Structure 1
Amino acid sequence: MSSSIPSLTCTSLSFAWPDGTPVLDGLDAAFAPGRTGLVGVNGAGKSTLLKLIAGELIPSDGTVRVTGEVGYLPQHVTLDTALRVDEALGIAARRVALHAIEAGDVAEEHFETVGDDWDVEERALATLGELGLGAIGLDRTVGELSGGESVLLRLAALLLRRPDVLLLDEPTNNLDLYARRRLYAAVASWPGVLIVVSHDRELLDLADQIADLRSGELLWYGGNFTAYEQALAAEQEAAERLMRTAEADVRKQRRDLADAQVKLARRKRYGQRMYEQKREPKIVMGARKRAAQESAGKHRILHEERLAEARERLGQAAEAVRDDDEIRVDLPYTAVPPGRSVLSLRDLQLAYGALVDGGLDLHGPERIALIGRNGAGKTTLLRTVAGELAPVSGEATAHVPLRFLPQRLDVLDGELTVAENVARFTPGATDNRIRARLAHFLFRGARADQKAATLSGGERFRATLAALMLAEPAPQLLLLDEPTNNLDMASVRQLTTALESYEGALIVACHDLPFLDSIGITRWLLLADGRLTETTREALVDSV
């Protein structure tokens, strides 16, 4: 890191996509040393902001000023599988020079390459060890590593560089519980500016402050994510009270205006009668009529202005209330009676080596968490239960209708609309019935006619969830494979509320403990060392 205090400033930062769609417009922000959790709904521009700071995108206007070096871990890490680990870490040339010097080659270029970094190998191995990668060494290729190990390797490369500003975009995606703990430790000890975009509550609870990107602006909250949620809840409660007060005021001003119009109409009729009866001199009656008209006009304008002001206050109050819709759907046909056999596994040998000794049975509306290291075989087990993969030996027998939600969300046909995709799973349902049920999944009106290929990540997830949960026959066993990957916090809440309505059995492969707690897990299964065993949440946490 540089000797000066690291900092990051965005001034009047603007960005739009080539088709003209604006993402940021005049954003001002300053980040000092410390950990900032950057949150916001899907499409708010979080990843775009990180790419602008990292220099991977060019702003249409404004500036980004950074004191020191920037390190960036993108959401989708891609490394050349042919690279050796030392090449991915960026230390290969220094290693070659060091080994040459150790072998007696005192060429000047070797010393220039090494510089002052004589302990580069030791530091690299120590950094890998801190992230749980100590066993991989420096000479293996990236292709030999799992997806989660590749993410940690990219992070290790950043830590070795020791940048002043570290940007992390959904770093826990594809990381198992053990790898997440390593990442948490690295984040907790980071000394410079750190900005992390994540849906991982545990990671966000390590933040010193939360920046909420909403409608192109950053709203700042001191403290971690839990403190942010509490502050936001208090804000929303106050905003809703203010909106109720504003609504009451609008109703009052409408009544006052109506009452005033009635009174003015009566005065007008009375004045007209007086004029027709000619009880006073014509000039006096004319003057009174003009005065009454002027007074009536002023009175009407006064009440209309008050009504307009009340409506403006209501609009301002409504803007402060967040419209984060939640999925609300009734799924009575998914219910499974307690004790009913849902799934049986018998001496199951999976395609890639994992084994379920003896038997395992799932009954009634049990909710099972499937935990294990990356590469342990969790996805393989779910695909075998779903019937997508044949076991080497043994049996996996589902006794109720089931549906499988894969990580890749490749259930939908991109060329079909949301409604047409759901119709594929519900061939007996009318179009009106499909649309009525899709509305509960927040696809109302024209949104149900969007092609699946045009959906955002969160929308695609909701559409896939709708297709599976509304399928006929109703699924009484749902298999979910890392369902919270790439979801923002609002989408995770929507998934949680949808699963609250679901009355069948669940098997969820997931490393997000707060999410698993929120959906009421009743059993914990650990897939490790090629075997599936029953465990507890406490034992699981103690083991990492």
Structure 2
Amino acid sequence: MSASLTCHSLSFAWPDGAVVFDGLDIAFGPGRTGLVGVNGSGKSTLLKLLAGDLVPADGSVKAVGEIGHLPQNITLDTALRVDEALGIAERRAALHAIEAGDAAEEHFEAVGDDWDVEERALVTLGELGLGHIGLDRTVGELSGGESVLLRLAALLLRRPGILLLDEPTNNLDLYARRRLCQAVASYPGILVMVSHDRELLDLADQIAELHSGEVTWYGGNYSAYEEALAVEQKAAERTVRAAEADVRKQQRELADAQLKLARRKRYGQKMWDSKREPKIVMGARKRAAQESAGKHRAVHQERLAEARERLDEAVEAVRDDDEIRIELPYTAVPPGLQVLTLEDLRTAYQARVDGVLDLRGPERIALVGRNGAGKTTLLRTIAGELQPLAGTVTAHVPLRFLPQRLDVLDDDLSVAENVARFAPGATHNRVRARLARFLFRGARADQKAATLSGGERFRAALAALMLAEPAPRLLLLDEPTNNLDMASVRQLTTALESYEGALIVASHDLRFLESVGITRWLLMEEGGLTETTPEALAGPV
């Protein structure tokens, strides 16, 4: 029987009463589904409900076939051997015992029909780029990215009919991402993936967009979804313009009707005052006129109310795709100006720069390489957070560093107060006016940093650095797109378009790097830096 996965009338709320789903119906068929939506829309919650890790308040989840779930935050016991993490240790031990001549019945029961389990495990590890780790090493010897791929290998070895992946490329370097994409592309069952990784989402057969507790389906991959969305939005904007014109028309007609009624009333009063007709006739005429006027006014008021309702519906259909649009003239770096010099640099954890590396003018440098190669260490050394073991770092312009942890914010302060810390000379009104360009308007600027969502926190940290005084003319970003939804990635991209200074960004996301106008690519390999190209990085693993 082929696998299937359906939800019927699914409802779920958090203990504080916040409703995530109320009567959700959804069915996943064969193929790859990209589950998208803004941060906080309930994507991870839905995967946990599908996997049985959360229990719905009402409704049901029905799965035909085994479910494999790769959660966003993976914790593996560092003392486990690789074969234990893969779930094959017992069968492997039994196989080795049988091969050594021990014909005990329990060994055959442990193996069952899975005589090639060790070979399958090694093949699966190899396909994910983990062939070098072997089955006897411990999890503690692996990097964070290797641990994610190991957990995926354990799922694939079980051959589940349904696979649920939650942000699987987080913490993966460029090479590991490519391996994961290959595994996704070849998966034969039902696959549902939550991701902000465009390359991965472009492998989807269909996109399910989660918004306000409901799902809308789009055929094709993420690029096709964006095209369909753009067409929808243009149609929605035309509808808004037509609805606005209708409201203005109804307002004019109501005003004209009220003017005519006022004239009739004045004429009737004049006739009453002149007593040209019998009182009983004039009274009847006045009552009839009042009734007619009331009906006439009610008709126009009803039409206006209906027009306003249509306008409200049309406005709701238009996405709130606010983009960060700012002017940062003081960040500008003229061509040729020396921005940064690294000379014979040796950092902690063995990262190094041989000879002299100069950054001049508004260059945009991508720092790429495997996890653990030393990219973060180099950025922290340039930012002055770590002292070099040898050599020199000379920044010729003001710089700011945005780390992966986003710990530049004080959780006890509001967004506005955090920005004011970095720009002590700016007035209160100036801080709030500039924050509005980062989409923190009105009361949103008064939110405590501790209460912000992941995307909001990133935007607030970016605002604090880019609006700092003196203006940063060199910006260092460390894996800025990790844990950002697609809308937040677009907002980051537009913010960097406004930034006129030099940029060094460490990232594994080639699509993002290309979108921000990288002018120079540096590969960190075995601790050293070499020039490279995006074409070379996109080549075979």
Which TM-score bucket, shorter chain as reference? over 0.9
For residue 467 of structure 1, what is the aligned residue in structure 2? 464
Q: How does 1:357-436 map to 2 (within 5 A)?
A: 357-436=354-433
Answering whether residue 507 of structure 2 is matched by residue 510 of structure 1, we say: yes
Q: Where does the alignment leave 5 or more consecutive residues of structure 1 unmatched?
A: none
Q: Specify the alignment match of 2:251 in structure 1.
A: 254
The residue aligned with 2:339 is: 342
1:190 to 2:187 alignment: yes
Q: 2:199 aligns with which of 191, 199, 202?
A: 202
Q: Which residue of 1 aligns with 2:526?
A: 529
What amino acid is the match of 2:281? V
- CA–CA distance in 1 between the matches of 2:73 and 2:419? 29
Match of 1:147 in 2: 144
Q: Is residue 2:277 matched to residue 1:280?
A: yes
Q: CA deviation at 1:436?
A: 1.4
Report the counterpart of residue 21 of structure 1 in structure 2: 18
Q: SS state of the match for residue 483, structure 1?
A: coil
Q: How far apart are the structure 2 equivalents of 1:543 and 1:529?
A: 19
Deviation at 1:324, TM superposition (A): 2.2
Q: Distance in 2 between matches of 1:480 and 1:101?
A: 55
Measure, in 1, the Cα distance between the counterparts of 2:529 and 2:451.
39
SS at match of 2:63: strand
Structure 1: how far apart are the matches of 2:5 and 2:253? Answer: 54
Q: Is 1:219 aligned with 2:216?
A: yes
Partner residue of 1:76?
Answer: 73
SS in 2 for 1:173: coil
Q: Which runs of 5+ in 2 are unaligned?
A: none
Residue by residue, what CA displacement relative to the aligned partner does 1:127-159 show, whole Å, maximum 9, x if unpaired?
000000000001111111111111111111111
Q: 2:429 & 2:509 partners in 1: Cα distance?
A: 37
Distance (whole Å) between structure 2 residues aligned to residue 325 and residue 283 of structure 1: 65
Give the alignment partner of residue 491 of structure 2, picking from 494, 504, 509: 494
Number of positions where the alignment pairs a residue of Structure 1 with one of Structure 2: 541
Q: 2:176 maps to what in 1? A: 179
Q: Percent identity?
A: 81
Map 1:3-22 to 2 at 5 A: 4-22=1-19
In structure 1, the partner of 2:477 is 480
In the TM superposition, structure 1's runs of 4+ consecutive aligned residues that sit over 3 Å from their partners are: none
Matched AA of 1:536: T
TM-score, normalization by structure 1 = 0.98
Larger deviation, residues 358-367 vs 322-331: 322-331
CA deviation after TM superposition for structure 1 residue 66, in Å: 0.4
Which of 62, 65, 72 is the aligned partner of 1:65? 62
Give matches, 1:85-104, under 5 Å.
Answer: 85-104=82-101
1:106 corresponds in structure 2 to: 103
Question: Amino acid of the residue matched to residue 100 of structure 1?
Answer: A
State how far apart, in whole Å, the 2-side matches of 1:412 and 1:142 are.
33
**Counterpart of 1:352 in 2: which secondary structure?**
helix
Q: Separation in 1 of the partners of 2:136 and 2:393? A: 40
**What pairs up with 1:310-329 in 2 under 5 angstroms?**
310-329=307-326
Over aligned residues, Cα RMSD in angstroms? 0.9
TM-score by length of 2: 0.99
- Give the corresponding residue for 1:121: 118
1:230 to 207, 220, 227: 227
Q: Counterpart in 1 of 2:159?
A: 162
Q: Does 1:356 align with 2:365?
A: no
> CA offsets per residue over residues 375-421 of structure 1, 9 Å max, x none?
11111111111111112211121111111111111111111111111
SS at match of 1:328: coil
What is the SS of the residue equivalent to 2:350? coil
Taking the aligned partners of 2:78 and 2:403, their CA distance within structure 1 comes to 24
Secondary structure, in 3 states, of the residue corresponding to 1:202?
Answer: helix
Q: CA deviation at 1:543?
A: 4.9
Deviation at 1:529, TM superposition (A): 2.2
> C-alpha deviations, 1:330-355, integer Å up to 9, x for none?
11111111110111111111211122
Q: Which letter does structure 2 place at the counterpart of 1:53?
A: L
Matches for 1:450-461 after TM superposition, within 5 Å: 450-461=447-458
2:440 aligned partner, one-letter code: F
